[in-house]
Structure 1
Amino acid sequence: MTDTSPLATERSSARGRRARRAVAEQRILGIDPGMTRCGLGCVDVDPRRRARLVEVAVVRTPAAASPELRLLTLAEALDDWIARLAPTSLSVERVFAHDNLRSVISVAQVIGVVMVAGARAGLEVAQHTPSEAKAAVTGSGTATKAQVQAMVQRILGLDAPPRPADAADALAQAICHGWRGGGTGIDGGTDMVSAGGSIRVSARTPAQQAWAAAQARARRTGAVDPRRRLR
């Protein structure tokens, strides 16, 4: 039986718009994951690497709300953005290590919500580390938040720097994927099939390969971050 519900019709229309746009440009939805503040930034990138702002916002959830309701709020926002803007791919910040265990768990939960939303819509879902996104827009993987905001403003031709920093980080994540690609694959793997059905071989950048190697070492030693383990 064919699903003729409004949501199914909207998703079908979105897939059609993505297919037509993919011929000329990419539309990337970048996400800076966070439970309290989740940055969403959508850009179009043409074959000449020119980037144009589509939409940017920060979704906020109250700290007093239960985690499942906060995640539901974020999931509904993502579904709305995907349905309205019809991105060709999603790129979410890859989190490697964090001193605050509670914070990293909540961020990981948000990343899971993002990945499910992308897979449900049939999109490629990529991940780039914060240093990769910073390097893509500023030339330095150790750039400050103010420097990222200033360069995102310049790249997109905005009247003012995107604020708060979560918004700029989401846009930097989208620009990074539009310019560099990659951001896919699993540790030790070279092939990966996206939700859209495409196969990407050896898609990792050198920085992503180094990240994967560090993560594999962390698993072997049982440490969260091999740089911080006791000797």
Structure 2
Amino acid sequence: MRVLGVDPGLTRCGLGVVDGRPGRAVMVAVGVVRTPSGGDPGERLVFLERELDAWLARFEPEVVAVERVFADTNITTVMTTAHATAIALLTATKRGIPVVFHTPTEVKAAVTGSGRADKSQVTAMVTRILGLDVAPRPADAADALALAICHAWRGAAEARLAALAARVPR
């Protein structure tokens, strides 16, 4: 299963593509889309859309895994993250690619075994799981790869269970 992980952000949006199945994952690509924080918000969103569309065209993922927006006390950050999330959802949906959401806790638990892991632990495990010589930087890139790994492992298992359940006579 090829998964594009998206760690949404308007200033920095992490992207990571992984080919994986439960217990196994290989990195295909990783990067960060950056937009100038002082730029026009609409232009920044258009730029993000173009970049995401290019990644979708180039890597042809079967699914896009996006981090679920976490509402904290900084409303401005939540709103710009939500805008970037909407661009990922829109861009993938226009291409007929399903979008799934995972919470930070789910992602941390999938790659580290603990939903309370910190960013350095997530980065270390992503590096180890993917057999990388160098840790992906910045953290947005590592988080995007973690999202892709999480879905490749958990999503594939959930899909198999759903397929089995569909075969059971009622």
Residues 106-117 of structure 1 aligned to structure 2 (within 5 Å): 106-117=80-91
Within the candidate set 9, 22, 31, 1:34 is matched to: 9
Q: For residue 168 of structure 2, what is the aligned residue in structure 1?
A: none
Counterpart-to-counterpart distance in 2, 1:148 and 1:41? 14
Task: Using the TM superposition, give the Cα deviation of residue 97 of structure 1 relative to its aligned residue in structure 2, in angstroms.
Answer: 1.4
Counterpart-to-counterpart distance in 2, 1:138 and 1:99? 27
1:100-152: CA deviation from partner (whole Å, max 9, x where unpaired): 00110110011100000110111110000111111100001111111000000
Count how many residue pairs are aligned between Structure 1 and Structure 2: 158
Counterpart-to-counterpart distance in 2, 1:63 and 1:157? 34
> Is residue 59 of structure 2 the alignment partner of residue 85 of structure 1?
yes
Look up the SS of the partner of 1:77 in the other structure: helix
Structure 2: stretches of 5+ with no match in the other structure: 157-161, 164-170
Task: Using the TM superposition, give the Cα deviation of residue 96 of structure 1 relative to its aligned residue in structure 2, in angstroms.
Answer: 3.1
| Residue type at the aligned position of 2:17 | C
| Residue type at the aligned position of 1:63 | S
Task: Using the TM superposition, give the Cα deviation of residue 161 of structure 1 relative to its aligned residue in structure 2, in angstroms.
Answer: 1.1
| Residue type at the aligned position of 1:120 | K
Q: For residue 134 of structure 1, what is the aligned residue in structure 2?
A: 108
Task: Using the TM superposition, give the Cα deviation of residue 49 of structure 1 relative to its aligned residue in structure 2, in angstroms.
Answer: 3.3
Give me the identity figure in percent: 55
Look up the SS of the partner of 1:181 in the other structure: helix
Moved over 4 A (4+): none
Counterpart-to-counterpart distance in 1, 2:63 and 2:145? 13
Look up the SS of the partner of 2:117 in the other structure: coil
Q: Normalized against structure 2, the TM-score is what?
A: 0.90
Indicate the structure (1 or 2) with the bigger Cα radius of gyration.
1
1:16-64: CA deviation from partner (whole Å, max 9, x where unpaired): xxxxxxxxxx000000000100000000014x53100000001100011
1:66-86: CA deviation from partner (whole Å, max 9, x where unpaired): 101111111001000000110
> Is residue 125 of structure 2 the alignment partner of residue 151 of structure 1?
yes
Higher RCO (CA-CA < 8 Å; seq separation 6+): 2
Within the candidate set 50, 56, 73, 1:76 is matched to: 50
